[in-house]
Structure 1
Amino acid sequence: MDYPDQLRPSGTPPFWSRGEHITWTYGLPGRPSWVYPMTVVQDDADALVTWLTVGTLGRLQIRADGRELRADRSDVFTAPRKEVVRPFSAHHTLRIHQPGRQWSTLLFFKGDSGEFVGWYANIEEAHVRDAHGTYSRDHVLDVWIEPDRTFWRKDEDELELAVEQGRYTAEEAAAITAVADEIEGVIRAWGPPFCDGWETFRPDPDWPVPVLP
């Protein structure tokens, strides 16, 4: 992806402070496919860690006719789109990006009890940032990891569709699959961030819900 020149690689100073609000964007500034404001938990040369709570308002793309993107697989990557504002409705999510890696690790927690549900390795471009937030691009394929460390790949069929519908070349899809291989190697070795104890994280109860800029 061609990012504006003023963006810099993640993992470089200045860093954000714990409790600060930033935006996490998939897509270019001004043309996001998904953007939510989040609270910084940690930001340094090793990792950016943010907290996204259920109910936070964000912007995302749906079909121009109002249906969800996956409503019709025949044109899921080519259908006209529009932007809507919606509350985040999945699990509370701790998002971790380690600079330079082409994936982030998401930890899901139940909205009612805070119980840890599992890890989700989201394959994406290595992050860049500006003063306000971090930017990447989703690469369709993912890896799900259960609390007992069993894991499997998710959306392999959608990656095939992405090639068929022209979002990726076969070579690009092969590179994305290689990132899944890398992730699974880290899981088997139980390396960072899986070994870092983030599944016990609980947010500061005094943190306000961040709002879209």
Structure 2
Amino acid sequence: MGIGARRLAASGARRTGEFRHLPKVDLHVHLEGSLSFSLLRRFARDQGRAGLRSHDLAFHDFDGFLRAFARVCSYLCRPVDFQLAVQCLGRRLRRDGVIHAEVFFSPQVHTRRGLEYAELVKALERGAREVKAAGGPSLLFIADGVRQWGVESFQVLLAEMERHPSPSVVGIGLGGVEDAIPSRAFAPAFA
């Protein structure tokens, strides 16, 4: 490493230290993507599922990411799992100095496996209340629709959100495979 690179690295380390104490806002964090490996292993143990290894979740491309994401989501089986996931995320964000976060979650992935949207949201709300009571941060949620499952599936999610409104769910996004269906196909749902 050259002298310039060493100075830059040292400068970056100092800046990190300088900013560590400042309050922060995280406007784009995914609940399912925030799960630590230790929490996933706990879920696996609770569910009697053995053999989870960290390399099972490794990926090198977007298709691999989607497979890893599906595997991670398979460990979120009960509402209490979501509540615990929110608590763990909240603790990590608090350690990082985050005072507010808007957290994406993928309800369609979980409702397709039999979880009820309303129960899922109640669990997120319980977790967020517990995080706030423990010193924060404040947490709000954004439902992330799955593009590749189509417009009709997305409209089902919107209908669930309308049937079960929550002040904690403040928005909706559109994630997934971007070239599966053009965004304009979803425009009427956002109108």
- Higher RCO, 1 vs 2 (CA within 8 Å, ≥6 residues apart): 2
When normalised by structure 2's length, the TM-score is: 0.27
When normalised by structure 1's length, the TM-score is: 0.25
Report the structure, 1 or 2, having the larger strand content. 1
Which has more radius of gyration?
Answer: 2
